[in-house]
Amino acid sequence: VIGIPVDGGGISLNSLERIAEREDRLKAVYLTPHHQYPTAVTLGAGRRLRLLDLARRHRLTIIEDDYDHEYRFAGHPVLPLAARADRSVPVIYVGSLSKILAPGIRVGYAMAPPEILRKMSDRREAVDRQGDVFLELALSELIEDGTLRRHVRKARRVYLARRNHLAALLARQLSNVSEFVLPAGGLAIWLRLKPGLSAEAWSMNAANLGLSLLPGVHFSLSPARAPEAFRLGFASLDESELAKAVRLIAKSVPGA
């Protein structure tokens, strides 16, 4: 597994190109283009087209994980890579219902060329022959009668309010030691620390106050190049809980 750098526009295609030219065994690229994990940046339409061209030239399969594309707060959702690809670029499009309904609902879905789907189905059957039939039937009803769509609309309003509340708290209490770009969607804010601050030391201080903060090194395949940053999820916290969390984060600043 080789990590590819990410910038404000998503995956670095120049880096991917260099790796594809160097690594003959490279077969696929996995990415979360709608709200990149962990930074929450969106891969724009232009860069998506360039990625498809790169994959075509280097004969790469694209695994497009669109795990929380439903939660887009600004502008229109970007058309998936799978919708733009032709037969020359295999795209495996995957998603999950756990971000929509509950973490405990471990049900996902995949769309791919028929020959790939057959292989995926065979592997899945070898691991779990039957699956959870009753859960899947219940979920199919929620989808077919429109309940799931209505739930997503309501949840989107709730999460938008929580994103805005968290952003306001961070700007008011932590702007002297950190910065962030307001994400257009997703369920987290990527908080970058100002130069000279250690995310590891900050997280240790927070742990002493009972708050769990995962520094950027936990999301990186190259620890030496890991950003000094935190991913702050807001989906499960109401406004009072977010306010308490930010107070503890501010109290945990190294040297404060």
**Contact present, 203 and 213 (Cβ < 8 Å):** yes
Residue-wise pLDDT tens digits, 175-218: 999 999 999 999 999 999 999 999 999 999 999 999 999 999 99
pLDDT > 70? residue 256: no
Question: At residue 178, what are phi and psi to the nearest 5 degrees?
Answer: -155, 170
pLDDT > 70? residue 242: yes
Question: Average pLDDT, stretch 36-45?
Answer: 95
Structure tokens at 36: 């990149």
Q: What is the pLDDT of residue 118?
A: 94
CATH number belonging to the domain at 6-145, selected among 3.40.50.2020, 3.40.640.10, 3.40.50.620, 3.40.50.1950:
3.40.640.10
> Cα(84)–Cα(76) distance, rounded to whole angstroms?
16
List the chain domain ranges.
6-145, 151-251
Of 91, 131, 89, 125, the closest CA to residue 110 belongs to: 91
pTM for this model (two decimals): 0.91
Range list of H helices, the chain:
13-22, 45-58, 81-84, 114-127, 133-144, 147-174, 199-208, 239-251
Q: What is the pLDDT of residue 149?
A: 95
- Which residue is associated with the tokens 């295999």? 90
Residue-wise pLDDT tens digits, 18-36: 999 999 899 999 999 999 9
| Domains 6-145 and 151-251 belong to one CATH topology | no
Q: Model confidence at 82, in pLDDT bands (50, 70, 90)?
A: very high
**Contact present, 209 and 216 (Cβ < 8 Å):** no
- Beta-carbon contacts of 16 under 8 Å, excluding residues fewer than 6 positions away, are 4, 29, 51, 54
Q: What is the CATH number of domain 151-251?
A: 3.90.1150.10
> Cα(69)–Cα(233) distance, rounded to whole angstroms?
16
